[in-house]
Amino acid sequence: MHENRETSAAPETDAAAGRSVKDQNRTTGMHAVEESDSGIVPMNPSNKGDAPSSAEVGEGRLGIKENDAPSHTRLTQSGESVSQGLRGVRQRARVNKQERFTALLHHVTITLLRESFHALKRKAAAGVDGVTWTQYQKGLEDRLIDLHSRIHRGAYRAQPSRRVYIPKGDGRQRPLGIAALEDKIVQQAVVTILNEIYEVDFRGYSYGFRPGRDPHQALDALHVGICRKRVNWVLDADIRGFFDNMSHEWTMKFVEHRVADPRILRLIQKWLKAGVSEEGNWSETKVGTPQGAVMTP
C-alpha cells in the first residue's frame, strides 16, 4: 500500500466544503481530492446499463466526505495544478482509448521537476548517492536546471537502488529499493505525466497507488459495501512477490500500448535495468522492479 511510497498524498482542498449536494450526482470514474471528514454521507448513483460493485455505488460511510468526486482543477500528487499541456493529454486519453502518445518528454519542465521535488518525503532515507532532500534543496534551482538539461539531452543516467530490508509480520523480510534523489525527482515527474493517461481508465472503486487516494478511503468504501449491501463472502487475493518478479519485457509491451515516446520509454528502461546495490555490491536486475520506488506502482 502507500506506506512504501516516496511521494506524498494530495493535500486537502478548501473547495471540498459545502459540495455534498452537487457531488451526489457525480460519477465515480474520477480521482479523489477530498480527505475524510465528518457529517456527510456520499451516495453515488450507478450508470444505467452498468453494474458497479457495492463499493462503487456508495464509497463512504457516516462521518466521511465523498472520496471520489471530480475536481475542476486536476492535481498532481504534490497538490499542484497540472499544466494546460497535461490537461490536453488527459482529454485526448479520455476521448481516444487507443491513442498512443508519441510526444511526452517536453512536459518534463523545470516547473514539473520542482513540484516533483517538493512532493517527495523530506525525511526519506538517501539512496546510493547519499544525498538527502534537505541537502539537494541547497542550490535547488541550479540543480534542477542541470537535471532538466541532462534529461532532454539524453545525458541523464539512472543510479542503482540501495537495497534495504524491513521485517514482515510473518517473520520474513521485505526487500525495498531506495532510489537516488534525482531518480526520485525524475520518476515523480514521469508518474505525473503518465497519470494523465491512465487515470481516465480507472474505475471509482480503484484505490491502489492513485493520486489523492489512500487506504483509509478504501476502507471507507469497504465499510459501505459490507454494511449496506447483501455481502455473503469477501475475497482477499494477493500475488506473491509480484513486484519482484515482473517481466521487464512484458512491462514495456504493456506501457507501449499507450506510450510511444521513445524518450519516455528509455527512461523507464533505465530504471528497470539500473540494478541494485547491497552493502556496496552492485547486481544486475533482469526481472522485477524495486518495491518502494516512486515509479514502481
CB under 8 Å to 132, separation ≥6 — which residues? 124, 126, 181
pLDDT of the residue at 205: 87
- 52-104 pLDDT per residue, tens: 444 444 343 334 433 443 433 345 554 455 678 899 999 999 999 999 999 99
Closest C-alpha among 158, 107, 175, 170 to residue 274: 158
244 vs 255: CA distance, rounded Å? 18
- 123-142 pLDDT per residue, tens: 999 999 999 999 999 999 99
Cell triple for residue 254? 504493456
Residue 81 forms beta bridges with which residues?
75
pLDDT of the residue at 136: 98
140 vs 129: CA distance, rounded Å? 16
pLDDT of the residue at 81: 53
- 186-201 pLDDT per residue, tens: 999 999 999 999 999 9
| Lowest model confidence (mean pLDDT) among 17-21, 196-200, 276-280 | 17-21
- 29-57 pLDDT per residue, tens: 333 333 333 333 344 433 444 444 444 44
pLDDT of the residue at 46: 39
Single pTM value for the model: 0.72
| Lowest model confidence (mean pLDDT) among 16-25, 71-80, 171-180, 229-238 | 16-25
CA distances from 221 to 32, 57, 59, 206, 269 (A): 13, 9, 4, 10, 36
pLDDT of the residue at 241: 86
| Mean pLDDT, rounded, for 1-13 | 42
176 vs 161: CA distance, rounded Å? 9
- 234-277 pLDDT per residue, tens: 899 989 888 889 999 999 999 999 999 999 999 999 999 999 99
Q: Is the pLDDT of residue 25 over 80?
A: no
| Average per-residue pLDDT for the chain | 79
Which percentage of the chain shows pLDDT scores above 90? 56
> Is 231 within 8 Å of 225 (Cβ atoms)?
yes
